[in-house]
Chains A and B, each alone.
Chain A
Amino acid sequence: MAADQAPGVPAIRLSRLRKEFAGSPPVVAVDDVDLDVRAGEFFSMLGPSGSGKTTVLRMIAGFEEPTAGAIELAGADVTTRQPYDRDVNTVFQDYALFPHMSVAENVEYGLLVKKVGRAERRSRVAEALEQVRLGDHGSRRPSQLSGGQRQRVALARALVNRPTVLLLDEPLGALDLKLREQMQVELKGIQRDVGITFLFVTHDQEEALTLSDRIAVFNAGRIEQVGTAREVYESPASAFVAGFVGTSNLLTGETARAVMGREGSVAIRPEKLAVVPAEEARAAEGQLSAAGSLEEVVYGGPVTRYVVALDAGGRLTALEQNTGARADGAALRRGDRVALRWRSEHVIDVPGAPTPELQGQGTSPQQFPTT
């Protein structure tokens, strides 16, 4: 258990962890990853599909053998140990509940195979089911449960073993939006209660930002950045992170020079941009601005999204809270001349020359943070 660990020893330590899959040439899924996850932390591995995050998780669980590198759990090297010899438990993406067992039998399974006594099994199963609010569903079959309930059974089945680390492989991916948001809150609450280290894999940047104490952003088998949600969002370490976490609004090359008056690519978060009438384009002290014309107006309930084509070239997306401040008569339409204004401290310097694809990714509607 987390409490037994010596202070300062990370719950998980990955050293130059590498995984190649057979092929010609071999596919490098995980490319010499170093990572420390602290005990008791809610840690997320965030990245697009194929970025290696799930492979890292599966190597920690013991389902995949690393090509090179080492995995330590609470200070002990487990690199070559079998899954049943590791003090971790996994919540699978498809839940992997045993269909021929009842809910209680599913939860009991780990205790049963570890030969925990009957009385203790009973009480721990009841406690675990209570924890996920399924106390009266023990005798049901998994097939009689809803998606959200199955998800909670999978969680209880893993937690009942009180592992050092709980691994969660996109556990909320199969749920609909409402349920997902509700489960996020529950998951965070349960993690706080049990104090177990959670290692959470997701491709949903909003989910990672909401839940995590810290986040590792994966790209092409490597970690681009490790930091708190605020660090990853407010000061991305690379163009990829800026593009993948939130809508990035990258300004590069010629456009950046024209708007910023200096060299170097920058990013500005859409919620930091104010859309003002063209005649108010001149920026006050500590502010920057750029003129352009409205290319798109998308009403999204609590927010409205404006896409502005800058006169200097390039496109920026601005998000505006629908607070009622903008009267109906003053509603902006496509083609209107406008200006964008932002505070200079909100400019994010993005290291490394961004590629055009990354820019595209950053502004695609899929990454729109409030949807």
Chain B
Amino acid sequence: MRRRRGLAVLLGPPMLWLVVAYLGALAVIFATAFWTTDPFTNLVVRTFTVENFRELLSGTYLGIIGRTLLIAVLVTVLCVLVAVPFAFFMARVAPRRFRGLLLAGVLVPLWASYLVKAYAWRTMVQPGGVVDGTFGATPGYGLAAVVLTLTYLWLPYMVLPVYAAFERLPESHLEASADLGGRAGTTFRRIVVPSLLPAIAAGSVFTFSLSLGDYIAVQIVGGKLQVLGTAVLQNITLDLPFAAALGTASVVIMVLYLLAVRRTGALDNL
């Protein structure tokens, strides 16, 4: 009895926090998404309607959702393409005494201000900026700049789990594959990649969801680009229920993404 009370005292506050601050807030967003606003006063009218979702599925907003998804997918793919060789180098090639240094090199940018990094990219991709000067051309502000900036910002979230997966992969598994006749390519495809999948899945949950919700970098380097995040921002003061519907859309996308990732079996060994 006493143990049970102790457990309740221990778990009560965090459970309360979880239920009120997370699930409660989420529930309020869902509920709000089915309300509407008075077109004259801009006040929230608490009557049930699916009008917000109908508008969401109209051409304009479907385009925005599609564009946001495209950015999230591109950022995630680029992060994987950069993180896997880099993490491989860190965990398997670099001398052991440099690993800490390399790890710090990946982590330190995380501690720098998000805004500073986003503005750094803004100056780099601007006409006549570093990118222009080095490569003779620049994508300028827009989708490409957003993808580049977000890939840079979220890369550590992909490198760290993949690095850990490389560290965990026993040398003997690679030796066993070679021993059984597998060349480097075969070993990478059949042994290394499958053992990295859970880590890539974990990293992609970060890169995908962070890209899905971002609106600051988009405003700084995206030019006039509209994504889910900026659409929420524009509606949040004038049409809160519609902003809530947009928020609901990204939650639904994320849930679908997680279900898809789970279907691949990548989360089984997480």
Contacts and interface: CB of A to CB of B under 8 A. Distances in A.
Contact of B175 (A92, A100, A157, A161): A92
Interface stretch (B16-24, B126-134, B183-191): B183-191
Interface stretch (A108-116, A214-222, A249-257): A108-116
Given A62-B179, A90-B175, A109-B180, 10 more contacts: A63-B175, A84-B182, A90-B179, A96-B175, A98-B177, A98-B191, A98-B194, A99-B195, A113-B181, A113-B182
B180 A113 contact: yes
A213 interface: no
A63 B182 CA distance: 13
B176 interface: yes
A181 to B, nearest CB: 25
Interface residues of A, number: 23
Contact of B180 (A62, A82, A100, A157): A157
A89 interface: yes
Given A98-B191, A100-B194, A114 B181 contact: yes
Given A98-B191, A99-B269, A109-B190, A82 B172 contact: no
Interface in A110-158: 110, 113-114, 157-158
B172 A96 contact: yes
A113 B195 CA distance: 18
B181 A110 contact: yes
A114 B179 CA distance: 12
Contacts of A61: 175, 179
Contacts of B62: none
Nearest to B183: A84
A113 B186 contact: yes
B186 A96 contact: no
A93 B172 CA distance: 9
Contacts of A84: 178-183
Interface string B107-121: 000000000000000
B6 to A, nearest CB: 35
Interface string A173-184: 000000000000
Contacts of B176: 90, 92, 96, 98
A65 interface: no
Interface of B: 170, 172-173, 175-183, 186, 190-191, 194-195, 269
A83 interface: yes
A34 interface: no
B78 to A, nearest CB: 25
A90 B179 CA distance: 7
A92 B181 contact: no
A94 interface: yes
Contacts of B178: 62-63, 82-84
Contacts of A94: 170, 172
A110 B195 contact: no
A93 B195 CA distance: 20
26 contacts: A62-B178, A63-B178, A82-B178, A83-B179, A84-B178, A88-B179, A89-B179, A90-B175, A90-B179, A92-B172, A93-B172, A96-B172, A96-B176, A98-B176, A98-B191, A100-B194, A100-B269, A109-B177, A109-B190, A110-B181, A113-B180, A113-B183, A113-B190, A114-B181, A158-B179, A161-B181
A157 B180 CA distance: 8
Contacts of B177: 98, 109, 113
B180 A161 contact: yes
Nearest to B173: A96
B175 A89 contact: no
Contacts of A83: 175, 178-179
A99 to B, nearest CB: 7
Contacts of B269: 99-100
Contact of A110 (B173, B180, B194): B180
A174 B190 CA distance: 27
Contacts of A92: 172, 175-176
Contacts of B190: 109, 113
A51 to B, nearest CB: 21
A139 to B, nearest CB: 15
A158 B183 CA distance: 17
A338 B63 CA distance: 100
Given A83-B175, A92-B172, A92-B175, A100 B195 contact: yes
A153 to B, nearest CB: 12
Q: Which of B170, B173, B176, B183 has the most CB of A within 10 A?
A: B176
A88 B175 CA distance: 13
Nearest to A100: B194
A82 B183 CA distance: 9
Q: Which of B179, B191, B269 has the most CB of A within 10 A?
A: B179
A82 B182 CA distance: 10
A88 B176 CA distance: 11
